[in-house]
Amino acid sequence: MTTLGRQMAKGAVWMIAARFADRGIGIVSTVVLARLLVPADFGLISMAVSIIAMLEVLGSFNFDVALIQNHDAERRHYDTAWTFNVCVGLASGLALLGVAHPASQFFREPRLQTIVLLFAGLPLLEGLHNIGLVEFRKHLQFDREFAYLFARRIVTFLIVVPLALVYRNYWALVTGVLTGKIVSLCLSYVIQRYRPRFSLAARHELFHFSKWLYLGNLTQFLIHRAPDLVIGRIAGTSALGLFNVAHEIAYLPTNELVAPINRAIFPGYAKKSKDIAVLREGFVDVISVIGLLMIPAAAGMFITSDLLVAIFLGDKWLAAQPIIRLLAIAGMIFALQTNPTYVHYAMGNPRTVSWLSFLYALSLLPIMVVATSLGGPLAAAWAYIITASLVLPITYSTLIHRLELRWSALAARLWRPLLATAAMWVVLGELVAHLDMPHESLARAAELLLIVLGGAVVYGAALFGLWRLSGMPAGAERMIFDLVRQKLARNGRLPGLSG
């Protein structure tokens, strides 16, 4: 493994650790809040956040991506990016004041107006964040970004949960959103010494790259906020809250494993972008890791959804079980098509990403409107599966052309995780069918733990066996084996298996 490859792997580990710490605390917070609040409370806040996101995306140019991709970025580039973020945040905040009443009428929810007015300062707080944080990712200093993300989450958690115990309604969530944004802003200047100044000196250079990112952001908003707009309008706050909490649980593997990998890998892709052969090899390795993690994770989420809801959310969330199952499948498909985005960015092709995002949004919205009208939030989950399945082959076709990659190279890395997951599915199906444990919370937790551990053992054994039988080829299994062997060698315990 090259020095850059080791840095990328180390960065991915740090980012995964950061996401686990960040989302681990977040999940605990969600579980506590779900026990204290009702689905309608979550749906109401989702509506407000979707309004904010709609306005923020109108001025979102993803300058951080442009700064990472530009190897020669100077202070004037950072200051220009920060200045524009502040201006957009101020404009978005003023716009929120104007749309608060129309938004409450659109969703037919009078309480929404007050919440949107209180949230009007959030875009400006976001724009004021220290742009110097980009340096952590650009120079692969992911340990420092880990410290920032963890500190932000833990402080917010310590404030929001006591508020939920006091308010026991959606005001706890409102206060938590406001507090989290303020804490995040303050920490960005504590952990990074860079002090931005107002400047527009590099506006032309940044906009040249970021104009396509802007178009991509518009479509990404439609993709990620479609449930808020469609389900909130058609089915109401309770259905929206149910869907969003189910989405958060089902997409845990995507958000907590794949998202940090992508975040860590992108700077490495940018450094490799001028050597197609090296970039192609790096991409195939990353996809093999994503497939190794995501395919069994989605299957496990599908199998254990009833236990997850019963243990962590409670009886008032039982309707979320089938939604979680469907969204777990959608999350796996979506995860497999996220990494190609960063390859295109690294190669200076944001236009391709924008067109792919536009295609995804153009497919998702009409399917979701029809599905939600016919079957509510459960049918909306099917809309995600259908759309992701349609766009996945198109996404890979564009990248295969640019990287001069063969479909067979991808299939060679993914067939073993697929077969190993199938074996895990069969064994876990038999295990669940024969388990007859009491319905007390402790017994259910023990059942969940048994299923998770059993699934991990079966999957790991099947995957390793298939890898050995196929001649121990390059891929995620090879990388894991080499890392373990190096670790044992440092401790003076070499494994007997030769590579």
Which residue has better confidence, 169 or 110?
Answer: 110
Instruction: Give the model's confidence band at 10: pLDDT under 50 very low, under 70 low, under 90 confident, else very high.
Output: low
Instruction: Look at residue 464 and tell me if it is in a domain.
Output: yes
CA dihedral angle for residue 63, residue 64, residue 66, residue 70, rounded to 10 degrees: 140
pLDDT of residue 378: 92
| Calpha distance 90→96 (Å, rounded) | 10
pLDDT of residue 495: 47
Whether 215 and 249 map to the same domain: the answer is: yes
Instruction: Give the model's confidence band at 494: pLDDT under 50 very low, under 70 low, under 90 confident, else very high.
Output: very low
Query: CB of 127 within 8 A of CB of 89?
Result: yes
Whether 13 and 99 map to the same domain: the answer is: yes
pLDDT of residue 323: 94
Instruction: Look at residue 169 and tell me if it is in a domain.
Output: yes
Whether 312 and 447 map to the same domain: the answer is: no
Segment 457-483 shows an average pLDDT of 87
Q: How many CB atoms lie within 10 A of CB 168?
A: 14
| Burial annotation 415-425 (CB, 10 A radius, 16+ → b, else e) | ebbeebbebbb
pLDDT in tens, 247-298: 888 887 777 678 777 777 877 787 777 888 888 888 888 898 889 989 999 9
Whether 400 and 336 map to the same domain: the answer is: yes
DSSP per residue over 363-401, as a string?
Answer: HHHHHHHHHHHHHHHHHHHHHHHHHHHHHHHHHHHHHHH
Instruction: Look at residue 91 and tell me if it is in a domain.
Output: yes
Give the 3-state secondary structure of 409-455. HHHHHHHHHHHHHHHHHHHHHHHHHHCCCCCCHHHHHHHHHHHHHHH
pLDDT of residue 382: 95
Instruction: Give the model's confidence band at 492: pLDDT under 50 very low, under 70 low, under 90 confident, else very high.
Output: low
The residue among 177, 193, 72 whose CA lies nearest residue 130 is: 193
Instruction: Look at residue 281 and tell me if it is in a domain.
Output: yes
Is residue 91 pLDDT above 90, yes or no? no
pLDDT in tens, 158-197: 777 777 777 777 787 788 778 888 888 888 898 888 898 8
Instruction: Look at residue 499 and tell me if it is in a domain.
Output: no
Whether 347 and 454 map to the same domain: the answer is: no
pLDDT of residue 423: 94
Is residue 28 pLDDT above 80, yes or no? no
Instruction: Look at residue 348 and tell me if it is in a domain.
Output: yes
Torsion sign over Cα 323, 326, 332, 335: negative
The residue among 51, 198, 33 whose CA lies nearest residue 114 is: 51
Domain that residue 430 falls in: 414-494
pLDDT of residue 369: 93
Whether 246 and 177 map to the same domain: the answer is: yes
Segment 471-495 shows an average pLDDT of 71
The tokens describing 340, both together, are 């190609």
Whether 399 and 438 map to the same domain: the answer is: no
Which residue has better confidence, 25 or 240?
Answer: 240
Is residue 459 pLDDT above 90, yes or no? yes
pLDDT of residue 57: 61
Whether 470 and 397 map to the same domain: the answer is: no
pLDDT of residue 8: 52
Mean of per-residue pLDDT scores for the chain: 80
Instruction: Look at residue 223 and tell me if it is in a domain.
Output: yes
Whether 354 and 456 map to the same domain: the answer is: no
Contacts of 366 (CB under 8 A, 6+ apart): none
Percent of the chain residues topping a pLDDT of 70: 80
Q: Which of 54-68, 70-84, 192-206, 381-395 shows the lowest mean pLDDT across its residues?
A: 54-68
Q: How many CB atoms lie within 10 A of CB 401?
A: 10
Q: Helices 276-308 and 350-403: crossing angle, nearest 10°?
A: 110
Whether 446 and 348 map to the same domain: the answer is: no
Tally of structural domains, the chain: 2
Which residue has better confidence, 44 or 462?
Answer: 462
Whether 332 and 466 map to the same domain: the answer is: no
pLDDT in tens, 150-163: 777 777 777 777 77
Torsion sign over Cα 169, 160, 445, 238: positive
Instruction: Give the model's confidence band at 367: pLDDT under 50 very low, under 70 low, under 90 confident, else very high.
Output: very high
Q: Among the three residues 405, 439, 467, which one is the final residue of a domain in this structure?
A: 405
Segment 218-239 shows an average pLDDT of 80
Segment 462-481 shows an average pLDDT of 86
Which residue has better confidence, 140 or 238?
Answer: 238
Q: Among the three residues 377, 405, 433, which one is the final residue of a domain in this structure?
A: 405
pTM of the model: 0.66
| Calpha distance 12→326 (Å, rounded) | 28
Instruction: Give the model's confidence band at 29: pLDDT under 50 very low, under 70 low, under 90 confident, else very high.
Output: low
| Calpha distance 287→285 (Å, rounded) | 6
SS3 assignment, position 145: helix
Whether 420 and 384 map to the same domain: the answer is: no
Q: Among the three residues 405, 430, 456, which one is the final residue of a domain in this structure?
A: 405
Is residue 4 pLDDT above 80, yes or no? no
pLDDT of residue 366: 92
